[in-house]
Amino acid sequence: MKNHKSMSLVEVVVSMVLLAVAALAVSSTLGLVSGSKMRSTTGSLDLQAASYARQVIEELKNSVGTTAATQMRLVDTSYMAPCATAAETLCNSAGTTYTSASASGAWLTLPAGDLATASGARSYKVWDISGGGGTVAYKKVTVTLTWTDPS
C-alpha cells in the first residue's frame, strides 16, 4: 500500500471550529471598540434631539382640528394681510417662531435629562403657504433644537 499524506475528516472539523472561535473573538473585540465610539455623549445628544424634534412634529399634527388653544400652536402671526395670490408661496417670509416662553409653547420645555442638562432648548417656526386666491393651502414648519456640547 501507498502512504497518502492527507487530512482526515476529524482534522478538518476541528480546524473549522478553531477558526470559527477565532473569528468570533476578533468580531466581538471590534464590536466593543466601535461601540464605545458610538456611545459618545454627543451622539447621544443627537439622538435625543432627533427624538424631541419628532415629538414636536407629532404634537403639532395632533393640534390640527382639536381645541382652539392647541390650534394656536400653528398660527403664523407674522402677517395680517391675506396670502399672495400666486400659488405655493410663503405668505410672509418672517414666519412665527414659538419657544417654551411663548404663550402656547410651554409644552416645548425639555424634560429632565441629558439634553436639558446641556442647556438644551427646542422651538419651531410656522409659515403659511398660499394656495392662491388669498387662502392658506398648508403650513410649513421647521423644528430647531439647540444645546451646548459638553467639553
Residue showing cell 409653547: 105
pLDDT at 22: 92
Domain, as residue range, for 56: 40-146
Q: 97 in a domain, yes or no? A: yes
Among residues 57, 59, 71, the alpha carbon closest in space to that of 143 is found at 57
Q: 139 in a domain, yes or no? A: yes
For residue 23, what pLDDT band results from cuts at 50, 70 and 90? very high
Q: 109 in a domain, yes or no? A: yes
For residue 81, what pLDDT band results from cuts at 50, 70 and 90? low
pLDDT above 90 covers a percentage of the chain that reads: 7
Round the average pLDDT of the chain to a whole number and report it: 77
Q: 29 in a domain, yes or no? A: no
Residue 128 is inside which H or E element, if any? Answer: strand 121-132
Q: 83 in a domain, yes or no? A: yes
Count: domains in the chain:
1
Contact, 94 vs 120, CB < 8 A?
A: no
Rounded to 10 degrees, the C-alpha dihedral 109/114/119/122 comes to -40
Q: 19 in a domain, yes or no? A: no
Q: 15 in a domain, yes or no? A: no
Q: Record the pTM.
A: 0.59
Q: 99 in a domain, yes or no? A: yes
